[in-house]
Structure 1
Amino acid sequence: MYPINFDLSHARYTAGPRTLRKLRILCLHGFRQNASGFKGRTASLAKKLKSIAELVFVDAPHELPFIYQIRQNCDSASELENNHPPSESCNKKFSWLVAPDHKGENDSDWKIADSPFDPLQYQKQTEGFDKSIAYLKALYSKAGPFDGILGFSQGAAMAALVCLHQQKLKGQMEFRFAILCSGFAVNMNNCQQGSINVPSLHIFGSDKGKDRQIENEASKYLASLFENGCSVVIEHDFGHIIPARPPYIDQIKDFLKRFL
């Protein structure tokens, strides 16, 4: 069994004469990220949703090696060895899906980057679903239930796959809604438009949104796979982020209030 790392720091709350239950939302980080980093990046969002939602962050099960690029003026072997910080000073990074050539490293070794950053690298990360879904089922059994699932970037791709397999997962892992941010489709070539009937909120950069990592069309395509009558699309101009300012935060709240 894979170790399960998650954050349950937010508690349910009582207001007035009756007990109210916040929506519990499982949050999946992006590629080469981790739960603590994603929690930090979404702190403003969590603060603005704290009256209605409890966000639970979890590390993905595929641990990735650290990577670095060699400086062009590095000549000696000693310079190469000292060209990166010690592993123990770095936070581990994880992913939900990996490239076919991923060797399954689960340590903190450093790896030289094969090439400069490829903005389309997400299209190559197509393996590892079985390990990730088994991990999420175990987590759901231990820390669930959850009302919804939220994914960012590759986390949104994984969340979409969970929604696609919702019928198969019934009784093991069920979500009433999904929030997919800067998402894209992976291994969904046989999925018909409008065929995923999980209520969904899609948040991504517009054509001019300056998201240099996930193309606008990729996120639009993913949104099209969900039933149109129960999906909401929010496009913004702020790049590869989840905006927490008006009017976007108000639209997010409106979507969530449907499930209270």
Structure 2
Amino acid sequence: MLRILCLHGYRQNATYFKEKLGGFRKLIKKTAELVFVSAPLEVSQNDFRNESGTVVDGRGWWFSREDNYFRALDPSDFCYGFEESLKVVEKVFAEEGPFDGILGFSQGAAFAAILCSMQQKGELSFQFQFAVIVAGFKSLCTPHGKYYADIIRLPSLHVFGETDGIIGTESSEDLLKAFENPVVIKHPGGHYMPASSQQKPYYIEFLTERLKLKEVKD
């Protein structure tokens, strides 16, 4: 069984993201266990609610503006909270790990991609063997630019929607260029992780291959 640490999107949290991935969790339940962690930064909600109408305790991995806000498509020299978020992930790996892989959605996907590069550069205290990047994009915060300078060789699965109105396909496709031989699932939907029978064989194939490699090493 694989163990995967999941990094939610901006204005989400661990509980909300776990609920949103209910379908995906069922698809891969025989292959992987998903563990969810909340980002440390509190986000001003502006009435952001879940499907039942409850206000969500929204969190973020970093802010790109000085008013403690984040916009994926705005270039910025400001990057508040990233180091704090890195410490949170380090703590989870130390206390609840090891984890075989990481899965990130939206801002969490951008964070996951940066972690892949940091690991390759020897900048992390923990290790993982693959990444699942959902609705990902390159961070446009200037301090993060160095993490896209070299091709990331870690095995990766990239999932994004053709009608995503929040993170456009061009942004997700641009992130693909930072990875060596990325596996890609492009679906016709929007800003979410699909979990239909159409995607299932691709998820299972990617994760089963990772599981076989793990068993060989063990």
Could you say which TM-score interval applies, normalised by the shorter chain?
A: 0.7 to 0.9
- Residue in structure 2 matched with residue 48 of structure 1 by the alignment: 27
- Residue in structure 1 matched with residue 185 of structure 2 by the alignment: 234
Gaps of 5+ in 1: 1-21, 70-88, 105-119
Distance (whole Å) between structure 2 residues aligned to residue 239 and residue 210 of structure 1 = 5
Match of 1:133 among 65, 70, 86: 86
Aligned-partner SS, 2:72: helix
Is 1:31 equivalent to 2:46 in the alignment? Answer: no
- Residue in structure 2 matched with residue 204 of structure 1 by the alignment: 160
Deviation at 1:94, TM superposition (A): 0.1
Distance (whole Å) between structure 2 residues aligned to residue 241 and residue 100 of structure 1 = 25
**Change beyond 3 A, Cα 1:34–1:40:** same
Aligned-partner SS, 2:17: helix
- Residue in structure 2 matched with residue 72 of structure 1 by the alignment: none
What RMSD in Å do the two structures reach over aligned CA positions? 2.1
Taking every aligned residue pair, what percent have the same amino acid on both sides? 39
Deviation at 1:232, TM superposition (A): 0.4
Distance (whole Å) between structure 2 residues aligned to residue 68 and residue 138 of structure 1 = 31
**Change beyond 3 A, Cα 1:250–1:131:** same
Partner letter of residue 245 of structure 1? S
Give yes or no for contact 1:193–1:227 (8 Å, CA) kept in 2. Answer: no
**Change beyond 3 A, Cα 1:59–1:224:** same
- Residue in structure 2 matched with residue 225 of structure 1 by the alignment: 178
Deviation at 1:139, TM superposition (A): 1.3
Distance (whole Å) between structure 2 residues aligned to residue 210 and residue 232 of structure 1 = 20
Aligned-partner SS, 1:258: helix
Aligned-partner SS, 2:33: strand
**Change beyond 3 A, Cα 1:193–1:234:** farther
- Residue in structure 1 matched with residue 59 of structure 2 by the alignment: 94
**Bigger CA drift: 55-64 or 160-169?**
160-169
Distance (whole Å) between structure 1 residues aligned to residue 174 and residue 187 of structure 2 = 16
Q: Moved runs in structure 1, 4+ residues, more than 2 A?
A: 123-126, 167-170, 187-194
CA deviation vs aligned residue, 1:118-159 (integer Å, no higher than 9, x gap)? xx9322476222111111111111111100000001100000
Distance (whole Å) between structure 1 residues aligned to residue 163 and residue 5 of structure 2 = 27
Deviation at 1:102, TM superposition (A): 3.6
Partner letter of residue 216 of structure 1? T
Partner letter of residue 155 of structure 2? P
- Residue in structure 2 matched with residue 168 of structure 1 by the alignment: 122
**Change beyond 3 A, Cα 1:194–1:202:** farther
Partner letter of residue 40 of structure 1? E
Distance (whole Å) between structure 2 residues aligned to residue 140 and residue 191 of structure 1 = 21
Distance (whole Å) between structure 2 residues aligned to residue 145 and residue 102 of structure 1 = 36
TM-score, normalised to structure 1, is 0.71
Partner letter of residue 189 of structure 1? G
Distance (whole Å) between structure 1 residues aligned to residue 101 and residue 43 of structure 2 = 27
TM-score, normalised to structure 2, is 0.84
The answer to which structure has the higher helix fraction is 2
Deviation at 1:90, TM superposition (A): 3.2
- Residue in structure 2 matched with residue 253 of structure 1 by the alignment: 204
